[in-house]
Amino acid sequence: YKEAVQVVRSLKNQYPRDFLFCLEEANLRKDAGEGMAAVGAYREIVADNAKPGYFAEARLELVYFGLGDALRGQRHYEEAAQAYEQAAWTPNAGPELKIRSLLAAGECHDLLGERQVAIKDYQGAINVGPNTSRADTARKRLRNAYKGT
């Protein structure tokens, strides 16, 4: 991962407005176990995207999902749930990402003891893709609160 991060950072320095290089650096940092560095990289993408015309085409749903994963890995469940929910409701987010995001958000809310909010997220995941294995997991979570793995 270290070498891959260096390569992507080099490309990102050459092409700072290339969304994919920025996203890939954040993803690599997350996958390498650099939780808070990944969180910072994802948040930097969100901040840069707020600048008019900075990225030609950003896929913020992927950024928010990665941010949710990175925050969840650091046990920042409240912020993770918010990021997952943003991923789910970002325009153009596909159904699979919506389902995954809402399921993960619900699990974070359960870990925080926010059962009613978790139920809402699980039901949202089921509504988006009722005939999926993740919807089956969401139904299971509706019956029994998620306690962690």
The tens place of each residue's pLDDT in the chain, 149 residues long, gives 889 989 999 999 999 999 999 999 999 999 999 999 999 999 999 999 999 999 999 999 999 999 999 999 999 999 999 999 999 999 999 999 999 999 999 999 999 999 999 999 999 999 999 999 999 999 999 999 999 97
Task: For 71, list phi and psi in degrees, rounded to 5.
Answer: -65, -40
pLDDT for 149:
73
Q: Could you tell me which residues come within 8 angstroms of residue 12 by beta carbon, excluding any fewer than 6 positions away?
A: 18, 21, 22, 25
Scanning the structure block, which residue is given the tokens 């969180």? 39
Contact status, residue 101 vs residue 88, Cβ threshold 8 Å: yes
Q: In sequence order, which residues have a C-beta less than 8 Å from that of residue 123 and are 6 or more positions away?
A: 138, 142
20: nearest Cα among 62, 53, 52: 62
Contacts of 15 (CB under 8 A, 6+ apart): 21
Q: What's the pLDDT score for residue 90?
A: 96
CA 104 to CA 40: how far, in whole Å?
Answer: 20
- Residue 2: per-residue pLDDT: 86
Q: Contact at 8 Å (CB) between 90 and 61?
A: yes
From its phi and psi, is residue 95 left (phi > 0), alpha (psi between -120 and 50) or beta?
A: alpha
